[in-house]
Amino acid sequence: MSDPPRTVRRLRVALVGVSMLCAFLVLLTVAAIVYWRLYLEQPTPGPFERRPYVVRLGPTSAELKWRIDGPVELRAVGPDGGSFTARGGRFDGLEPGVRYGWTAAVGGLTWASGSFRTAPPDPDADVTFGVIGDFGSGTNHEWAVGRVLTSMHPDFLVGAGDNSYLVAAGPLLDRNIFRPLANVLANAPLWTTMGEHDLIWRGGKDVADALDLPGERGRYAMRYGPVQLVVLGLEADSDAVAFARGVLERTTAPVRFVVVHRPVQPGNPILAVLRRYDVSAILAGHLHRYERRVVGGVLEFTVGTGGEGPGNLEFTKASPDALKSLLDFGALRVDVAGGKARSYAFIDERGRVLDRFTP
Partner 1 sequence: MIALRIVLGLLAGVALVAQLLIGRPQSLTAAFVCGLLMFVVAAGSVAADAIPLRAVALGCSAATLACGLLLALSGFASAPPIAVAALALALQPAPAVVAKLRT
Nearest Cα residue to 100 out of 123, 75, 122: 75
Based on the shown chain and the rule CB under 8 A, indicate whether residue 8 belongs to the binding site for partner 1.
Answer: yes
By beta-carbon proximity to partner 1, the closer residue of 9 and 275 is 9
Minimum distance, C-beta of residue 121 to partner 1, in the bound complex (Å): 50
Nearest Cα residue to 185 out of 206, 159, 214, 215: 159
By beta-carbon proximity to partner 1, the closer residue of 26 and 353 is 26
Minimum distance, C-beta of residue 327 to partner 1, in the bound complex (Å): 16
Based on the shown chain and the rule CB under 8 A, indicate whether residue 327 belongs to the binding site for partner 1.
Answer: no
Based on the shown chain and the rule CB under 8 A, indicate whether residue 7 belongs to the binding site for partner 1.
Answer: no
Considering only residues 294 to 323 of the shown chain, the ones binding partner 1 according to CB under 8 A are 312, 314-315
Minimum distance, C-beta of residue 317 to partner 1, in the bound complex (Å): 11
Based on the shown chain and the rule CB under 8 A, indicate whether residue 34 belongs to the binding site for partner 1.
Answer: no
Vertex 346, ends 214 and 38: CA angle to 5°? 65
Q: Answer yes or no: are the C-beta atoms of 163 and 192 closer than 8 Å.
A: yes
Based on the shown chain and the rule CB under 8 A, indicate whether residue 44 belongs to the binding site for partner 1.
Answer: no
Minimum distance, C-beta of residue 23 to partner 1, in the bound complex (Å): 3
Minimum distance, C-beta of residue 8 to partner 1, in the bound complex (Å): 8
Q: Answer yes or no: are the C-beta atoms of 97 and 122 closer than 8 Å.
A: yes
Based on the shown chain and the rule CB under 8 A, indicate whether residue 79 belongs to the binding site for partner 1.
Answer: no
Q: Answer yes or no: are the C-beta atoms of 279 and 240 closer than 8 Å.
A: no
By beta-carbon proximity to partner 1, the closer residue of 294 and 313 is 313
Minimum distance, C-beta of residue 15 to partner 1, in the bound complex (Å): 5
Site residue total, partner 1 (CB under 8 A):
17
Based on the shown chain and the rule CB under 8 A, indicate whether residue 19 belongs to the binding site for partner 1.
Answer: yes
Based on the shown chain and the rule CB under 8 A, indicate whether residue 22 belongs to the binding site for partner 1.
Answer: yes
- Which residues are at the interface with partner 1 (CB under 8 A)? 4, 8, 11-12, 15-20, 22-24, 27, 312, 314-315
